[in-house]
Amino acid sequence: MIVLFLKDGLGNQLFEYAFARRLSQIYGDRVVINRIYFKRNKERSCQLERLALAKDVTYSGGIASFLFLLLLEFRIFLSLGPKFYLIHRDQEAFNRVFGGAEEIFRRCQRHGVYLSTSPYQYFDGFTFPGRRVKLVFGNFEHASFVKECGEGLREELRLKDASGIEGYLGRGECNVSVHIRRGDYLNPEWKSLNVCDEVYFIKAMKHISSICPDAVFNVFSNTAADLEWIRNNYHLEGNVRYVDTGMDDVSDFFIMSSCRHFIISNSTYSWWAAYLSQAEDKIVVVPDVWSVGSPKSEGLYLPNFVRVKGGRDL
């Protein structure tokens, strides 16, 4: 059994699930999704429940979720000792004291815990710890985990019920999804991710227009207020539509994914929307820098991505 402690927004949840799915292929175990994180963070929810995941995937609830959490903390204590409780909220200090993300992962794996303390780190060399229950916690934002799962993962990551979104943007057009991430990216704590500016989106749109002159640019953002701010402050040229569906994040995500081409922010949400698109000739434009000061974020770039620089001095 592989217990995945799911957390964060849809894009991160998909990367977390992909890593757990990869483990299930290696060990031959089924995945159990633990949703206890969402009891603590009411701003997020388990959005994978709306997807057609493998039939053997189940969800833990009630006392079982809490017991799995206790088991996770106990095994991390066995792996890292009491210092874990003193500094675990300071990720930089945590990695420094325990020798880095790879060393932490290696030590915890001995006790059946797959702990990522660096979101862009790639892990391999999996061992067989002899634990019937394996526990997964952290961010696993690396394209290799996704590719190693194979094409079967795409079949799982589709809506159970797509009514109401099929054909939403119209058919027969050269639809381009333009994801301008605002919201939490404007907070000081995420300044390393605030790299996509107006210049980036203008350059990206010009690139796609040079290949697809009849492109329709569908702009998505966090909220209707964010869309209105973009409309009033950005000078986007061409056939631009500001898409406010009034639906939820999951519906917007699959509407985005139905487009032919993509201009994404440095966001796992739009990364996955582009990845899951079935368009064979899709163009995916991405910011040249994903996260300032995080060279391992290079692991998110796929060979077909077109990298474009923004206007900020990074």
How do the domains of the chain map onto residue ranges?
A: 2-156, 174-308
Which residues face 261 on adjacent strands?
176
Distance, CA of 170 to CA of 173 (rounded, Å): 7
| Count of other CB atoms within 10 angstroms of residue 92 | 10
Residue 223: both structure tokens together: 């909220």
Distance, CA of 73 to CA of 155 (rounded, Å): 34
Q: Are 218 and 262 in contact (CB under 8 A)?
A: no
| Count of other CB atoms within 10 angstroms of residue 34 | 25
Angle at 31 between CA 1 and CA 77, to 5 degrees: 55
To the question of domain 174-308 being in CATH 1.10.10.10, the answer is no
Q: How confident is the model at residue 294, as a pLDDT?
A: 78
36-66 residue pLDDT tens: 999 888 788 999 999 999 999 999 988 999 9
Q: Are 24 and 16 in contact (CB under 8 A)?
A: no
Lowest mean pLDDT among 22-26, 124-128, 267-271: 124-128
Higher pLDDT: 220 or 125? It is 220
Positive or negative, the CA dihedral 36, 41, 42, 47 is negative
Task: Write down the residue that tokens 């388990």 correspond to.
Answer: 46
Lowest mean pLDDT among 26-30, 70-74, 159-163, 274-278: 159-163
Q: 103 — phi, psi (to 5°)?
A: -65, -40
Positive or negative, the CA dihedral 142, 34, 159, 244 is negative
Half-sphere exposure of 71 (CA within 13 A, CB side): 22
176-215 residue pLDDT tens: 999 998 866 656 565 666 678 899 999 999 999 999 999 9
Residue 198: both structure tokens together: 């107006």
If 0-12 CB within 10 Å is exposed, 13-18 middle and 19+ buried, where does residue 145 land?
Answer: buried
If 0-12 CB within 10 Å is exposed, 13-18 middle and 19+ buried, where does residue 66 land?
Answer: middle
Higher pLDDT: 170 or 77? It is 77
Distance, CA of 204 to CA of 240 (rounded, Å): 13
209-232 residue pLDDT tens: 999 999 999 999 988 999 999 999
Helices (H), the chain: 10-27, 37-40, 63-80, 83-87, 91-97, 101-109, 143-149, 152-156, 198-211, 224-233, 249-257, 268-275
Higher pLDDT: 94 or 288? It is 288
Nearest CA to 33 among 63, 69, 57? 57
Nearest CA to 301 among 311, 310, 290? 290
Task: Write down the residue that tokens 């159990």 correspond to.
Answer: 32
